[in-house]
Amino acid sequence: MTKRINTNEITLPPDAIKPKFKENAITVLQKRYLTKDQQGKVTETPQDMLWRVAKTVAAGELMFNTNAPIAQLAVDFYEMMAAFDFLPNSPTLMNAGRELGQLSACFVLPVEDSMESIFEAVKQTALIHKSGGGTGFSFSRIRPHNDVVHSTKGVSSGPLSFMSVFDCATETIKQGGTRRGANMAILRVDHPDIMDFIKAKADLTKLNNFNLSVAITDEFMEAVKVDGEYSLINPRDGEIVKKQNANKIFRQIVKQAWLTGEPGIVFIDRINAKNPTPQAGMIESTNPCGEQPLLPYESCNLGSINLANMVASDKVDFQKLGRTVEKAVHFLDNVIDINRYPLPEIDRVTKRNRKIGLGVMGFADMLAMLNTPYSSPKATEIAEEIMHFIDKKALDYSIALGEQRGAFPNFPESVYGRQNPSAPVRNATRTTIAPTGTLSILAGCSSGVEPMFAISYIRRVMDNTEMVEVNPVFEQVAQENGFYSEELIRKIAKLGTIQGLEEIPLKFRQVFETAHDITPQNHIDIQSAFQKYTNNAVSKTINFGHDATVEDVKDAYLLSYERGCKGITIYRDGCRANQVLSTAKTEKKSEGVEAVPPVKRDRPRSLVGKTYQMATGCGQMYVTINEDDSRRQFELFNFVGKAGGCAASQCEAIGRLVSLAWRSGMAPEPIVKQLIGISCHKPAGFGAQKVLSCADAIAQAVRQHMEAISGKTDSSMDEGAMSFGACPECGGSIEHESGCCVCHSCGYSECA
């Protein structure tokens, strides 16, 4: 049991610095982080929250020294956070000093090939999600579908069927209203069901609570290079099922990623080659965003240093960075001991290895402050230099802590213990580059090691008022150099980039690049540079333009392997939707081809059709699809909610537009692709029956109608579906960043 420590007598000095949270950050804090009473009223200030966290974590010193000066340490921790030099992961900010007391973000649970193990893992997942954590699983030990089950003389349903069970359980859990559940599902590339796993999210209405990654082996990659075969192995008995052409599987992975952004890949042999505790077990899975490989029942607490605050006089302030690294490692090591783990197994395994994950945010801001383009070779050099420094400082301080408190218990059998037994390392790993979607909003900086997602963007507040946000570094530069104006900022918000704007001097256009202004190779350059000196892995999304080809994605996958990355996640702009709305992009008409205007057909006096009942968050919807004599779709009517209500009027508008399109000759498939997967704040159902919005319900009804006519399922209509659409909390735009879907307007994160 973790020792409980009373910190009520420790008070914050009146001259302590006050955090300067922006309005957007205040909104996020009030919704998710600050303590509330039973009526939901906020009962603490942002300053109170940081002090609550600081004194709780500082009190962990008393476990090693009952006379420790924890009051001063608490102030040090507080000021580090209040200045936005460092912030811990969200569960620590939410739960430190509160009844729940669960402070870790990342967990991995084992899933063995038995019904008992599978459903024990489902129960444990529920407890972890309830406490605010995310979970990762490898389903590679489950025997393939149609394999023999000796106890019943039946056949196995395979790993994908059990993944659906986990997905439904996650959908049900609200995590106390602060964080939604998130999962990572990994399957080895040599599992017999690998092709089904790769295609699992071709239907984007399924497995919405999972990120998927294929565990790629070195054997597989070597076979890809020579267009050779590799073995598919039944995990039940270790027997080779058959030989498979590696490029056939690799092409399918690439194609599916091009279509939907998933699955990602993790290079599992490379991860285990860097496993610091091989005697304690092999690593099979990661946390939901892929940056934290963990053993079964391990957890890891993360935190990020704000690099934007580590620049002084146009240079990196390595002295301040070094001091911040030491305090952050001290902070995170204390968290391990004061944490209240959701399972006793997690408590035991976590403390055997004492892994922490110190990372960074604000890297793109730092580059801008150093007048360095993200896409330049100089940026790659800075990334290596910064991370090398952080990694070395973190290791040195971990050894210093080990000399005071003792090495992690598995140290004698670890890589470190065998190499240098006289240097008692306190933490088996120290560094991780995690996604910082919400933390970067709180700190007012760019996210993780990603490029700036936008120089300026429109934020919608609670009353639907639009406010224009601008990157603070760009704003300062623009004002200092005389080209700042409100008109320019709004123009940038609409365009999504400053490239091509001649009113901005070229040297600043070169420096302030956004995610889509740079090439996939530039993304991989930065990821591999950080990975070189990161113990765990790097959470990063490799962005592609909408016109990128499957071959472009393939080249990126191969390059990431060659560059030493531990995994890769790609996202092609608009791959989950045919982008009804886009930023400053319109389709060009084909040159030399005369457009034939559509002709609207007259309506006959009578038509024949079918009506479909769909459950939506606004109530039962009834969708009627009428056809003409040639069995072509002619018109669509729908009824939902009370007449005159907002939902009813919007749905009527959709019905009229769909009817107009059909009467003008448009096929139903493009309409389904445009509407399917659009989400709102009131989804209904779960699993295969999940309806994300009224628009999604209409699309699903049309698809059911088409499948009833053809007698077969047409998954091609799903290829353009959005799994996220608008932000379900504020209606703002969703960005795919660091392997997750996040909203920079309000801090919502699909991966928690």
Q: What is the pLDDT of residues 208-242, one digit of tens each?
A: 889 999 999 999 999 999 999 999 999 999 999 99
The mean pLDDT value for 638-661 works out to: 84
Residue 741: band (very low, low, confident or very high) from pLDDT cuts 50, 70, 90: confident
- Residue 294's H or E segment, with its range, is strand 293-294
Enter the DSSP assignment of 431.
Answer: B
287 carries an active-site annotation: yes
CB 391 within 8 A of CB 534: yes
Range list of H helices, 532-613: 550-562
CB-side exposure of 303: number of CA atoms within 13 Å? Answer: 30
Could you please report the per-residue DSSP string of 337-364? HH---SSHHHHHHHHHH--EEEEEE-HH
By residue count, the chain amounts to: 752
Average pLDDT over residues 497-524: 93
Task: For residue range 171-209, list pLDDT tens digits in order.
Answer: 887 544 455 668 999 999 999 999 999 999 887 778 888
Percent of the chain with pLDDT over 90: 67
pLDDT score of 715: 53
Q: Calculate mean pLDDT across residues 702-708.
A: 89
Amino acid identity of residue 667, one-letter, is: A
Least confident span in 353-357, 467-471, 540-544? 467-471
Phi, psi torsion values for 228, nearest 5 degrees: -105, -170
Residue 169, token pair as written in the block = 């359980």
Cβ atoms of 413 and 280 within 8 Å: the answer is: yes
Q: In the predicted model, what is the mean pLDDT of residues 299-328?
A: 97
3-class DSSP state for residue 623?
strand
What pLDDT digit, counting tens, does each position of 247-293 carry?
999 999 999 999 989 999 999 999 999 999 999 999 999 999 999 99
pTM confidence score? 0.80
Catalytic residue among 106, 289, 618, 727: 289
Strands 264-267 and 210-216: parallel
Per cent of the chain over pLDDT 70 is 88
H helices within 459-609, ranges in order?
472-480, 486-495, 506-511, 520-531, 550-562
Distance CA 157, CA 145 (A): 5
Question: What's the pLDDT band for 718 if we cut at 50, 70, 90?
Answer: low
* Mean pLDDT estimate for the chain: 88
Given 95, 209, 287, 471, which residue is catalytic? 287
Whether pLDDT at 162 is above 50: yes
The conformation of residue 749, written as its DSSP 8-state character, comes to: B
Positive or negative, the CA dihedral 499, 502, 504, 507 is positive
The one-letter amino acid code at 56 reads T
In order, the DSSP letters of 487-524 are: HHHHHHHHHS--TT-TTS-HHHHHHS-BGGGS-HHHHH
Mean pLDDT for 721-725 is 44
Task: State how far the Cα of 399 lies from the Cα of 401, in Å rounded to an integer.
Answer: 5
Host H or E run for residue 155 = strand 154-155
Q: How confident is the model at residue 150 (pLDDT cuts 50, 70, 90)?
A: low
| Burial letters 98-117, b for 16+ CB under 10 A, else e | eebbbbbbbbbbbbebeeee
Do 438 and 28 meet the contact criterion of CB atoms below 8 Å apart?
yes
Given a contact cutoff of 8 angstroms between Cβ atoms, the answer to whether 302 and 357 are in contact is yes
Residue 358 identity? L
Of 291, 298, 635, 750, which is the active-site residue?
291
Point out the least confidently predicted range of 596-605, 649-658, 725-734: 725-734
Residue 67 annotated as catalytic: no
pLDDT of 596 higher than 90: no
- Based on the residue annotation, tell me whether 591 is a catalytic residue of this protein: no
Calpha distance 441→471 (Å, rounded): 11
C-alpha distances (whole Å) from 335 to each of 8, 148, 170, 522, 656 are 18, 46, 26, 36, 57
Per-residue confidence band for 437, with pLDDT thresholds at 50, 70 and 90: confident
| In 337-405, beta strands by DSSP E | 356-361
Pairing between β-strand 311-312 and β-strand 315-316 as defined by DSSP bridges: antiparallel
Q: Is 164 exposed, middle or buried (0-12, 13-18, 19+ CB in 10 A)?
A: middle
| d(C-alpha 257, C-alpha 575), whole Å | 9
pLDDT at 599: 63
What torsion, rounded to 10 degrees, do the Cα atoms 68, 69, 72, 73 define? 0
345/709: higher pLDDT? 345
